[in-house]
A and B are shown apart, each in its own frame.
Chain A
Amino acid sequence: MTEHNTNVMQSEPEDVTFIDIVWGQFKKNRMAYAAMWLVVILFLLAVYAPLIASERPFIWQDAEGTYFPWFSSLFDHNYYENGVDKFFNLLLILGTPLFVVWWLMLRAAQKSGMEKRLRRQKIRKFSFVMIIGFLVVFLGVILTQSGQVNRHNFETYEEAKAAGKAVSAIFPPIAYNYSKQSLEEKLQQPNAKHIMGTDRKGRDVAVRILFGTRISLSVGVIAVGIYVTIGIFLGAFAGFFRGRVDMLIQRVIEIFMSVPTLIVLLVMISFIEKPSIFHIMVVIGLFRWTGVARLVRGEFYRLRNLDFVTSAIALGYSNRRIIFQHILPNALGPVLVAATFGVAAAILLESSLSFLGLGDISVPSWGQTLSAGYKTGEWYLILIPGIAIFITVTLLNLIGEGLRDALDPKMRK
Chain B
Amino acid sequence: MFVYAIKRILLMVPTLFAVSLLIFILLNVSAGDPGAQQAAGDGSQDAQKGDSRESYRIFKEQFNLDKPILFNTRYNLGGSDVEAAIGDILNEDGSVSLTRQIEAQNNMDDWGSYAVPGLLHCLRNCAKDTAKAKASQRLAINGQAKLLTGYIDGKVSKEEAARQKAENKTIRKANAELGAWSYQAFDLTAELEALSKKSPGLDAAASKVAVEARKAAHAERVAAVEKFWASWWEENQTRWEYTSGEKVGIFFLDTRFAKYWSNLLRLDFGKSHLDKKPVLETVLSKLKYSITLAVSSVFLIYFISLPLGIWSAVKQGTVADQLVTFVLFMLYSLPSFFVAVILLNLFTVGDWAVFPNIGFQSDNADQMTTLQYVKDVLWHVCLPIACMSYGGLAALSRYARTGLLDVIRSDYIRTARAKVLPEGVVIIKHAARNGMIPIITLMATLLPALIGGSVIIEVIFGIPGMGSYMFSSILQYDYNAVMVVLLISSFLTLVGMLLADLSYALVDPRITFD
Residues of A within 8 A of B (CB): 251, 254-264, 266-268, 270-273, 344, 348, 351-352, 355-356, 358, 367, 370, 373-374, 377, 379, 382-383, 386, 389-390, 393-394, 397-398, 401
Contacts and interface: CB of A to CB of B under 8 A. Distances in A.
Contacts of A251: 14-15, 18
Given A262-B453, A263-B486, A377-B345, A370 B27 contact: no
17 contacts: A251-B18, A254-B15, A258-B490, A259-B22, A260-B490, A262-B452, A263-B452, A263-B470, A263-B485, A272-B30, A273-B32, A356-B459, A382-B338, A382-B341, A382-B342, A390-B334, A394-B329
Nearest to B479: A271
A116 B32 CA distance: 56
B335 A386 contact: yes
Given A255-B22, A271-B34, A370-B338, A260 B493 contact: yes
Interface string B423-439: 00000000000000000
Contacts of A260: 448-449, 451-452, 486, 489-490, 493
A352 B486 contact: no
Nearest to A386: B338
Interface of B: 14-15, 18-19, 22-23, 26-27, 30-32, 34, 329-330, 332-335, 337-338, 341-342, 344-345, 349, 448-449, 451-453, 455-456, 459-460, 470-471, 474-475, 477, 482, 485-486, 489-491, 493-494, 497
B18 A255 contact: yes
A394 B459 CA distance: 25
A286 to B, nearest CB: 9
Contact of B497 (A257, A367, A401): A257
A20 to B, nearest CB: 27
Nearest to A275: B30
Given A258-B19, A258-B494, A386 B332 contact: no
Given A263-B485, A382-B341, A382-B345, A271 B335 contact: no
Quick one: which of B30, B334, B459, B482 has the most chain A CB within 10 A?
B30
Given A271-B31, A389-B335, A397-B333, A259 B490 contact: yes
Given A259-B490, A261-B452, A264-B23, 5 more contacts: A271-B27, A271-B32, A348-B335, A356-B455, A386-B335
A267 B335 contact: no
Contact of B26 (A257, A268, A374, A389): A268
Contact of A264 (B453, B460, B486): B486
Contacts of A374: 337, 341, 344, 460
Contacts of B460: 374
Nearest to A270: B474
Given A259-B19, A259-B23, A390-B333, A379 B345 contact: yes
B333 A393 contact: yes
A351 to B, nearest CB: 7
Contacts of A356: 455-456, 459, 471
A387 B355 CA distance: 24
Contacts of B497: 254, 257-258
A264 B24 CA distance: 11
A51 B353 CA distance: 44
Contacts of A352: 335, 337, 456
A395 to B, nearest CB: 9
Contacts of B491: 258
A351 B337 CA distance: 9
A351 B317 CA distance: 36
B338 A377 contact: no
A271 B485 CA distance: 16
Nearest to B485: A263
A289 to B, nearest CB: 14
A214 B263 CA distance: 46
A267 B30 CA distance: 9
Contact of B455 (A263, A272, A394): A263
Q: Which of A259, A367, A377 has the most CB of B within 10 A?
A: A259
